[in-house]
Amino acid sequence: MKLTADDVQKIATLARLEIKEEEIARTAEQLSNILSHVQQLNTLKTDSIEPTAHAVLVPTPFRGDEVVIDTAKGDSPKELALANAPDREGNLFKVIKVL
């Protein structure tokens, strides 16, 4: 499995990452090595095997669709949610103009 420079650029764009020009060849090589290694799974016969997503299955629990406000402890959930924002205006997350 050999990834090309174009493949690496395409994956990086999908992942919202930038790879510097001088790092492309090395990244392609490292990813190719790992992909070659994982391809040994191709030797397994799995046609009649069911996939396992979680090794220990529990039924999905549901909670009621209710607004929860933690007023008893004096916390404002809005303030907590915004406290780590890199940029904000009032009670809103501030972002670069989209349209």
Partner 1 sequence: MTLHSLTLHEIHEKLRKREVSSVELTQAVLKQIAKTEDKIHAFITLTEELALAQAKQADDLIQKNKGASPNNFAPLTGIPIALKDIFLMKGTRTTCGSRILSNYVAPYTATSVDNLLKDHAVIIGKLNMDEFAMGSSNETSHFGICHNPWDLKRIPGGSSGGSAAAVAAGDCFGATGTDTGGSIRLPAAFCNLVGIKPTYGRVSRYGVIAFASSLDQVGPLAKDVTDCAILLKALAGHDPRDSTSLNLPVPDYTASLTKDVRGMTIGIPKEYFVEGLDPEIEKAVRTAIDHYQKLGAKIIKVSLPHTTCAVPTYYILAPAEASSNLARYDGIRYGFRHPEARTLLELYTKSRTEGFGPEVKRRIMLGTYVLSAGYYDAYYLKAQKARTLIRNDFEEAFKQCDLLLTPVAPTAAWKIGEKTDDPLKMYLSDIFTINVNLAGLPAMSLPCGFTKGGLGESPLGEPPLPIGMQLIGNHFKEETIFRAAFAYEQANEWHQRRPAL
For residue 42, state whether it binds partner 1 (rule: CB under 8 A).
Answer: yes
- Between the alpha carbon of residue 93 and those of residues 42, 45, 57, 67, 70, the distances in Å are 46, 50, 38, 21, 21
For partner 1, the binding residue among 22, 24, 25, 53 (CB under 8 A) is 53
22 is a site residue for partner 1 (CB under 8 A): no
Closest C-alpha among 54, 3, 51, 53 to residue 29:
3
Residues of this chain that bind partner 1 (CB under 8 A):
3, 7-8, 11-12, 14-18, 27, 30-31, 33-35, 37-42, 44, 46, 49-56, 58, 60-61, 63, 80-81, 83-87, 93, 95-96, 98
